[in-house]
Amino acid sequence: MGKHITMRDIATKLGVSSVTVSKALNDKEGVGEELKQKIKETAKEMGYRINTFAKAMKEGQAYNIGVIIPERFATETQSFYLKFYQHLAKTLDSYQYSGILHILNTDDEDQLVLPRIYNEQKVDGMLILGQISNEYINLLNEIDFPIVYLDFYNEKAKADTVITDNFYGMYEMTNYLIQCGHSEIGFIGNIYATSSIQDRFLGYYKSLLEHKLVLNQDYVVNDRDERGNLIELQLPEKLPTAFVCNCDKVAYHLINKFHSLGIKVPEDCSVVGFDNDIYAEITNPKLTTVAVDIEEMSKTAVDLMISKLKNKDRQWEQVSVKGKMIHRQSVKKLVE
């Protein structure tokens, strides 16, 4: 490795001061154009790399943003949030920031342990990806640190929030099923588990209400326990003509269950999902679903974070990003 090249090394070589080098490399005023170019060239030749830590210390900014994902969302085959992280990292990069991923393990969440990247001041702010406990949200409120919540909403969270428009997404999806002639429509999801599921359920319910359809409680099927772990689906004896699933993964499980019971999709029962993740493409038939706009949500979240960093006093806001319906083959048209 050898010693690192510093601004002083460049300055010495060129017979100028390190202040001038700093100005030139940062395109600040107060350096002659000719000298500036010469300094930049020399820096390149010498393989100069800026020491972010010196800069960070001086400016009190880390140019890093933490991305916190609760452990239970990052395990197993669940790839959705990791894809989110990827887009976040990319967007952050365009602002000259880096993303540091921190998987928040369940113990730390329960015991209200803050991420090490926070305790070590490695990050200027944190993006919270996925629902965390109310107690943890309270903790985050207390520390008075730039936070943006992503993909879930909690009324206690006093910070910027970016969510998918779950309500209207599911509302539109249910409207579509009704247009297709369905009137017996079930919902799969634990409506107490997350506010996302709740909102999707309410969008579904609104559509039923508007069309004067009755909400049959037998058709509302739980899919997970309080911790978010999926459970075996308890289907009603008499099936509706369509099931609205709170997410593609559950739709996938439902369709597999149907297959094993000899029930055909969509002939015997239509199924729609939400998220447009990998599960939507691996079912047979492929799922009609609502696409979460991960890219747009990531951009929005990063924008909010950056603007929060620039202006700490800005009032926090909540942004809903529209999803869009993706039509595939899992819905049967009962009318033309």
Partner DNA sequence: CTGAAAGCGCTTACAG
> Which residues are at the interface with its own copies (CB under 8 A)?
1-2, 4, 49-54, 56-57, 60, 62-64, 74, 77, 79, 82-83, 85-86, 89-90, 93, 96, 98-103, 116-122, 144-145, 252, 278, 281-282, 284, 312
Three state DSSP letters for 26-95 = CCCCCCCHHHHHHHHHHHHHCCCCCCHHHHHHHHCCCCEEEEEEEHHHHCCCCCHHHHHHHHHHHHHHHC
Min separation Cβ 14 and DNA, Å? 9
**23: which DSSP letter?**
H
Q: Which of 47, 60, 119, 311 binds DNA (CB under 7 A)?
A: 60
Enter the tokens of residue 322: 């529209």
Enter the tokens of residue 9: 């090394």
Q: Which of 12, 19, 179, 333 binds DNA (CB under 7 A)?
A: 19
Comparing CB distances to DNA, the nearer of 17 and 134 is 17
46 counts as binding DNA under rule CB under 7 A: no
32 counts as binding DNA under rule CB under 7 A: yes
> Could you give the maximum distance between any two Cα atoms of the chain, in Å?
87
Q: Which of 37, 41, 45, 54 binds DNA (CB under 7 A)?
A: 54
181 counts as binding DNA under rule CB under 7 A: no
Q: Which stretch binds DNA (CB under 7 A): 24-32, 184-192, 267-275, 276-284?
A: 24-32
Cα distances from 93 to residues 86, 87, 88, 138, 228, in angstroms, run 11, 10, 8, 30, 32
Number of Cβ atoms within 10 Å of the Cβ of 63? 16
66: Cα separation from own chain's centroid: 13
Enter the tokens of residue 93: 């990069």
38 counts as binding DNA under rule CB under 7 A: no
For tokens 């008075």, name the residue.
Answer: 144
- When CB distances are held under 5 to 8 angstroms depending on the partner's kind, the choice from DNA, its own copies, none that residue 157 binds is none
- When CB distances are held under 5 to 8 angstroms depending on the partner's kind, the choice from its own copies, DNA, none that residue 85 binds is its own copies
Comparing CB distances to its own copies, the nearer of 144 and 336 is 144
- 3-state helix vs strand vs coil in the chain, percent to 5: 45, 15, 40
Comparing CB distances to its own copies, the nearer of 176 and 316 is 316
For tokens 């600040």, name the residue.
Answer: 28
R_g over Cα of the chain: 26
3 counts as binding DNA under rule CB under 7 A: yes
Contact 64, 124 (CB under 8 A): yes
Min separation Cβ 1 and DNA, Å? 12
Q: Which residues contact 327 (CB under 8 A, 6 or more apart)?
A: 288
Enter the tokens of residue 141: 């409120």
Comparing CB distances to its own copies, the nearer of 68 and 170 is 68
- When CB distances are held under 5 to 8 angstroms depending on the partner's kind, the choice from DNA, its own copies, none that residue 64 binds is its own copies
57 counts as binding DNA under rule CB under 7 A: yes
- When CB distances are held under 5 to 8 angstroms depending on the partner's kind, the choice from its own copies, DNA, none that residue 117 binds is its own copies
62 counts as binding DNA under rule CB under 7 A: no
* Buried-exposed string 134-161: b where 16+ CB fall within 10 A, e elsewhere: eebbeebeeeeebbbbbbbbbeebebbb
Selection from 299, 228, 225, 289 nearest residue 255 by Cα = 289
Q: Which of 1, 2, 27, 29 binds DNA (CB under 7 A)?
A: 29
At 118 the three-state DSSP class reads helix
30 counts as binding DNA under rule CB under 7 A: yes
Min separation Cβ 63 and its own copies, Å? 8
- When CB distances are held under 5 to 8 angstroms depending on the partner's kind, the choice from its own copies, DNA, none that residue 100 binds is its own copies
**Which spans of this chain sit near DNA (rule: CB under 7 A)?**
3-4, 6-8, 15-20, 22-23, 25-26, 28-33, 35, 50-51, 54-55, 57-60
